[in-house]
Every structure is written in C-alpha cells, then in structure tokens.
Structure 1
Amino acid sequence: MSTVVPLDPVNQARDIPLSGLNQLLDLARKRSPEDQRRLLLGVAGLYESTKAQGSAPDALADIFIALTRSAERDVRQSLAKQLARVDWAPAALVRMLAADEIQIARPVIAASPLLLDDDLLHLLADCSIEHQIQVALRPDLGAAVARAIVERGDPTVMTALATNRSARIETAAFADLVDQSRHLAALRAPLTRHPALDETLAARLYQWVGEALRQAISDRFALDPVRLAQAIEVATDEARRAQAEPAPSLAAEDPDARLVAKLHAAGQLRPAYLIRALREGKLGVFAHGMAALGRFDIAHVRRALQGDTARPLFLACTAVGLDRAAFPTLLAEIRKLNKGFPADPDASAWRLAERSADQAAYEFRLLMAEVDAASV
C-alpha cells in the first residue's frame, strides 16, 4: 500500500515555473473581482505560511506582486487593509501599495512596519500631496523624514506634521516650523501643543499668536513676564507697520466686481472667461473672477497678484480649474498688466506637484491667511 505524502507548500512554490506566470495573470484578469480577491488571499496565506517556515521563495513573491498589480482597484484596496500591519508581506509589494492611489495607500503608509525611512522619503519626492500628508501623519515618524518635510516647505504637509505629536522632529527643524508659523496661521495651534516645543521656541511663537494661544503658552511654560512683554511689543510694532503699508491697488474695482457678480449669478462665469479678461487687459475682472470662482477673499487674491513668488497664484488658478499647462502664458500676461508682479525670480517657484482643485484651494487659503492675532 503506497503512502500519501502531503504537499510541501514551500517546495511546491519553488517548483512554480515562471514561464506560466503570464498564463496565471491572464486567468486572474478574466475572473470577477470577488474571485480575484479570493485568489489573492489564497496566495497571501500561502506566502505567510512559507515565510513562517523560513524564507518564502522569490517566485511566490513575484506571483503575489504581479497578481496584485493586475487586480481591480477594490481588490487592491481590500488587500492593502489586510497587509497594513503585517511584517511578513513582501517589502516590494508593500512599497507598491504605498504608491498606489491614496485610498489604497493610506492604511499602508499609516501603519506598515515594512516601510523604512528611505521608502517614506521616496513617497515624499514622487507621490501626490495626499500621500505626503499621510507620511507626515505617520505615527512615530523618524527625524530624517520630518526634516525632509520641513525642508520641502509645503504648507499643508508641514501643518500635518505639526499635528503629529509622536513625530520625532529635531530642534532645528522644529525651529523652522515655528518661524514658518509667522506667516502660516494653521501651524500655530498644533505647534503650541506639540511636545517638541521648548521654552525658547515658545517665547518666539508667543510673538505672533492670538490671545488664546498666548494663554496656552503661558500655562505650559513659566516664561519671564518681561520677556513676554517684549515679545508683545515686537508683534504690536510689526502689526502697526503692516497696517500702515498701502494696500495693493487694482483699477476700477467696483465696476469689475459688479460685472463678475452679474456673470456669476447668471452661471456664465467660467475659467475660460478669466483668460479672456486677461487678454483684454482686464486685470480687475480677473481678480474678482478668481475670488468668485474659488470662493476666496478678494484681498487674498490681490495679495497673490502682488507676491514675491507666483506659487499662491498658481494654487488659486488650479483651484478654479485653470489648466496648469497654461499657467506660464497666463503668468506672463498678468505680469505685463501688473508691473511685473507676481515676482517669479527663478521662473520655477510656482512649479508644484499635481494637486486636486480642493487641495489647491486649501493650500492657497493657508498661504494667504492673515498673520495678525485675529486669524488664530
């Protein structure tokens, strides 16, 4: 009587001919998403069991990755949730999922122990703003990644980092965040509560926060009253000087505002109309049109038009639906009508990674936030 020898999943996986991988992928693609999900979970279970017995064969890892790459979106999303916290999955597969669209990537970026600092730095450099935000929110984020976020200087990503109280932020990088908060109001409240804030940086932050946050800083640190009084005096003097500066002017604001309001109410205000207004030399109409379409404060649009960088204007244009490829031409038209503003010193200060319209609008409002106490 012959003895039945049970199949060894490790040896069985090692014996899988790679020449049959394409046939397996073709078969998987023809299956329903539910069949794909079951197939992937089966491969995942096989991989986990072989990993528990030693090292999983490379051929099985290749099959796992290839099947995931060819799977439907919902299947990849389900798998990402399954693998988000495990330590046995192929590292290359986890990196692939982390770079997938954000709904798939989010749980992996947030929790996977297989993502190293170098992987997170690649996500910051190569992926969308949503991926970068999720990196900044990752628990126990390493100092090297936090430093890279501050050096990149993206307002939304820095704000996300400031809210991450478990992030390991070096003193120099945290000091840069405090300095950035002078002009970026969204940073102030989270920095006030961050455990990395020390007494020296608290005194610096105290100068430009509102009354509520000053009280929070005073409650947290026993700061010298004389030192605080000096900080208040500095902040007050700077606010007075800012108020004394004449506001940027755009000709014929009232007629332009009335025209734009009428077009907007009639549903005739479109991004293409803003381009036409510029070609006709109507900078005031363009400004009010941007404010109406983006639901921006007209003062913020004016400030963007008078800025020392074209970055805020680029964000506003993205937010209202203007094609980013058309921005260089649009910027040139604006500068002709606006005495060379906004400045564009290196001709690339506005070049940013892809943003959705909502994300661009959010970043624009952060950049244009008032710096006085009332904005906090």
Structure 2
Amino acid sequence: MTVLVQLTPSWPPEDGIAPLGELLALARSRTGDDRQRLLLAITSLCETNPPAEEISEVLGEVLLMLARQVERDVRRTLAERLATADWAPHDLITMLALDEIDIARPILAASPLLRDDDLIVILVQATIEHQIEVARRPSLSGRVADAIIEQAEPATLTALASNRTAEISPDGVRRLVEHSRRIAALRAPLTRHPRLTDVMAEQLYQWVGTALRQAIGARFELNETDLDFSVQEAVDKAFRDSPAPAPVVESAEFEESERRLVAKLRAADQLRPSYLIRAIREKRLNLFIHGLAALGEFSVGEIRSALNATSPEAIYYACSAVGIDRAVFVAMIAEIRLLNGGSPGTYGAQVWLRGSISPASATRAFRALIREEQQSTV
C-alpha cells in the first residue's frame, strides 16, 4: 500500500524533523517500522508547524490510518505527545482515548479536543479505569458530572468528589452526599468539598467517623453535641416506631463453632474491633458476643447481661474498652437490637454523647455496671 502525504514547501524542515524526501520514502514503504517512523515524523512536523485548515483533514486521515497499524508502545508515545495538542485530528484523539488505559490516560487527563459527548461515550463504553480518569479531568462540565453521578459507580463517584475543579451542581453534591451513606470512600473528600453546604454537612455528619465529624464541625461551626443528640434521637425514634423484632436463635452447636473461630483468631492475633463490627453487620450476634468477651477479657455471661439490660450504657463501655469508635456505636446498637429481640433497652443517659473515654476507664465502668446489675437481681 502506498501512502501519499500532501506537504507544502512552506514547512521548512527543522532539527530533528525528517526531510520531505525521507517522509515520502517512508510513505511508500510497507514495513511496520517505517510506518511507525512516518507516524512520529509527521507528528513532529505538525508540532513544529501546525497544519493549515485546508490540509488538516488529509493529515487526519493519514495519522488515523497509521495509528491503527502501529504497536502499543508507539501509540502510547503518540498519546503523550498529542495530550495537549489543539491541532490533532479529533477522530485520532477519540481513538486513543478509548485505547488501553496506559495509552488513554494522558489524553483523558488533558486533551482540549475531547467534547462532552466524547466523554459521555467513554463513560458508557470504556473500563472503570477510563471512567475514573474522566472523573478526575480538570474543569469537568456539569453535564459530564451528572452522567457520572447517574451511573453511581463507587470508584468513579469518589474520583469526582475529589475533583475540586469539576462543575458539580448543588443537586449533584446533594446526591453525592446521599451516596456517601453506602460508599464510605466518598465521605472524606465530601467533607472538604467547596460546594458542600451547611444543610448537606449536617446530613453527612450522620454517617462519618469521629475525625470527620470534628472536621465538619470546625468548618461549618456546627454544635457537635446537638448533632450527636439529633442522630441518636432519630435512631431511637425509628426503633420505637418499629415492631419489636424476634431474637435470632442459634443452636448450641453453631455457637460453639463461633467460639472456636474467635479462639483461633485471637491465637493468631487477628481479632480486631473491626471484626466485631463486621460480625454485627453480617448478623452474627454470637460471634460478636464471644469476640467482644475475648478482646475485653470479659466473660460471655457479662456481655450477655449487658446486651439484655434496660440501657445500652454497659455494652457501650464494653465496646469502648476494646477500641470500637463511639461514632459507629449508634448504628451498631440499632443493628444489635434487631438481632436481640429489641434489647438492650433505651432507658438511661446517652453516655456516648459525652465524648471519648479511655479503654481503662471504659473497662472499669463496664464492670461496675455489671456488678450493680448482678446485685440488683440477687
């Protein structure tokens, strides 16, 4: 196949750029190496002397044809060189943007020639890695941001929330905050997002950890004690308005298997507070009971007494003693009640709203409450 390239004499060769005669010789060659050399030589010529409007279509067809025939390493080099070019053929840019992610990345990050329609096509057709790069793109338009939010892909949403230059509408930020309830990775970038409003911050506050709550409180001058109280009130109201659930009944054999699992985890130094939280989320109450007893060096009977008390105060102290963050306690106790027939009850002060407590102090408070409970039943 012979490839003809129209080049005008007004383009004098520069240092490092092949003479016109050599370009024509490369165009007549059928070898892969010569096609790669021709592609990069034409690119160098265009970088130095951007083509005139009347021949850009011809060059575009030539470059696109050559790019389809060369190896991936050459396409990657080409993508890096064309990433910021405003003269490059649009079809070539979109082809490179849909190529393997290592090739597409510089184009997705910087090419001024990618339009909103192109980016939306990439969101639909390309891999999750391509979608993340689109979400990170500087000055991303509101239209593309809305398309990302509509897809609701966690990794792409997180990349968008971290992009401070993206034009996200107030409704878009609100939807990101709603998604953050199920996508924990969204919470930190949203806490710092410039378009987060006071109302959205109060909503986000409900499901972030202690450090992020402090950051939100400091940024928006919110009263953390009042917000903590509001969160707890909402949980308590939801629980009171719901019918009392039946306790989860597990066989003695199943409970023994949970006890053995905890013993193995502890022996391997793999028993962590996060494991207990996961046990509750997976509705494995007996695993939680045995794990909490082992971590805190309490008896299983003491933990069961705390779980069946009229107040969640004792179980809060047990959880604090082993390092479970008070920020997750409100949600965790609600799940425990669903597994334990409604217990512990809601009577008593919400001690977790008073601030953090050291593990040693929590252990002493737990044992004191359990002793009082045992004495009152004698």
Q: Taking structure 2 as the reference length, what is the TM-score of the superposition?
A: 0.57
Correspondent of 1:27 among 30, 53, 63: 30
> Using a 3 Å threshold, how does the CA distance of structure 1 residues 303 and 76 change in structure 2: closer, same or farther?
farther
Letter of the 2:67 counterpart: T
Say if 2:145 and 2:167, in contact at 8 Å, map to a contact too: yes
Aligned residues: 256
State the identity as a percent: 45
Letter of the 1:53 counterpart: A
Whole-Å separation in 2 of the counterparts to 1:252 and 1:196: 50
Say if 2:27 and 2:35, in contact at 8 Å, map to a contact too: no
Match runs of 1:220-235 below 5 Å = 220-223=219-222, 228-234=227-233
1:59 to 2:62 alignment? no
Larger radius of gyration, structure 1 or 2? 2
Matching residue of 1:78: 77
> Using a 3 Å threshold, how does the CA distance of structure 1 residues 85 and 301 change in structure 2: closer, same or farther?
farther
Whole-Å separation in 2 of the counterparts to 1:88 and 1:248: 70
1:68-89 Cα distance to aligned partner (Å, 9 max, x none): 1111000000110001011110
Match runs of 1:160-309 below 5 Å = 160-223=159-222, 228-234=227-233, 237=236
> Using a 3 Å threshold, how does the CA distance of structure 1 residues 258 and 215 change in structure 2: closer, same or farther?
closer
Say if 2:217 and 2:223, in contact at 8 Å, map to a contact too: no
Say if 1:208 and 1:235, in contact at 8 Å, map to a contact too: no
Whole-Å separation in 2 of the counterparts to 1:8 and 1:299: 71
> Using a 3 Å threshold, how does the CA distance of structure 1 residues 206 and 126 change in structure 2: closer, same or farther?
same
1:136 to 2:135 alignment? yes
> Using a 3 Å threshold, how does the CA distance of structure 1 residues 94 and 201 change in structure 2: closer, same or farther?
same
Say if 2:57 and 2:89, in contact at 8 Å, map to a contact too: no
Letter of the 1:217 counterpart: I
Whole-Å separation in 2 of the counterparts to 1:206 and 1:233: 12
Unaligned residue ranges in structure 2 (runs of 5+): 1-6, 12-23, 262-273, 284-323, 330-378
Please state how far the C-alpha of 1:256 moved relative to its aligned partner: 11
Please state how far the C-alpha of 1:196 moved relative to its aligned partner: 1.2
Whole-Å separation in 1 of the counterparts to 2:35 and 2:260: 57
Whole-Å separation in 2 of the counterparts to 1:50 and 1:126: 34
Please state how far the C-alpha of 1:24 moved relative to its aligned partner: 5.0
> Using a 3 Å threshold, how does the CA distance of structure 1 residues 299 and 246 change in structure 2: closer, same or farther?
farther
Please state how far the C-alpha of 1:8 moved relative to its aligned partner: 1.9
Letter of the 1:8 counterpart: T
> Using a 3 Å threshold, how does the CA distance of structure 1 residues 158 and 25 change in structure 2: closer, same or farther?
farther
Please state how far the C-alpha of 1:223 moved relative to its aligned partner: 2.9
Please state how far the C-alpha of 1:55 moved relative to its aligned partner: 3.5
Matching residue of 1:286: none
Please state how far the C-alpha of 1:43 moved relative to its aligned partner: 1.5
Whole-Å separation in 1 of the counterparts to 2:49 and 2:129: 35
Deviating beyond 6 angstroms after TM superposition, the runs of 4 or more aligned structure 1 residues are: 238-242, 244-251, 253-259, 296-305
Letter of the 2:164 counterpart: R
Matching residue of 2:8: 8
Whole-Å separation in 2 of the counterparts to 1:117 and 1:215: 38
Which gives a bigger RCO, structure 1 or 2 (Cα 8 Å, sep 6+)?
1
Please state how far the C-alpha of 1:301 moved relative to its aligned partner: 11
1:348-371 Cα distance to aligned partner (Å, 9 max, x none): xxxxxxxxxxxxxxxxxxxxxx99
Letter of the 1:45 counterpart: S
Look up the SS of the partner of 1:8 in the other structure: coil
Whole-Å separation in 2 of the counterparts to 1:25 and 1:238: 80
Whole-Å separation in 1 of the counterparts to 2:169 and 2:96: 29
1:218-238 Cα distance to aligned partner (Å, 9 max, x none): 111123568624543256649
Look up the SS of the partner of 1:56 in the other structure: helix
Say if 1:208 and 1:372, in contact at 8 Å, map to a contact too: no
Letter of the 2:65 counterpart: A
Whole-Å separation in 1 of the counterparts to 2:47 and 2:191: 44
Please state how far the C-alpha of 1:37 moved relative to its aligned partner: 4.2
Matching residue of 2:99: 100
Letter of the 1:146 counterpart: A
Please state how far the C-alpha of 1:54 moved relative to its aligned partner: 3.5
Matching residue of 1:88: 87
Whole-Å separation in 1 of the counterparts to 2:246 and 2:47: 66
Say if 1:203 and 1:231, in contact at 8 Å, map to a contact too: no
1:92-145 Cα distance to aligned partner (Å, 9 max, x none): 100000000000000100000000111100000000011001101111111011
1:182-214 Cα distance to aligned partner (Å, 9 max, x none): 121111001001111111111111111111111
Letter of the 1:66 counterpart: M
Look up the SS of the partner of 2:30 in the other structure: helix
> Using a 3 Å threshold, how does the CA distance of structure 1 residues 204 and 299 change in structure 2: closer, same or farther?
closer
Whole-Å separation in 2 of the counterparts to 1:254 and 1:210: 33
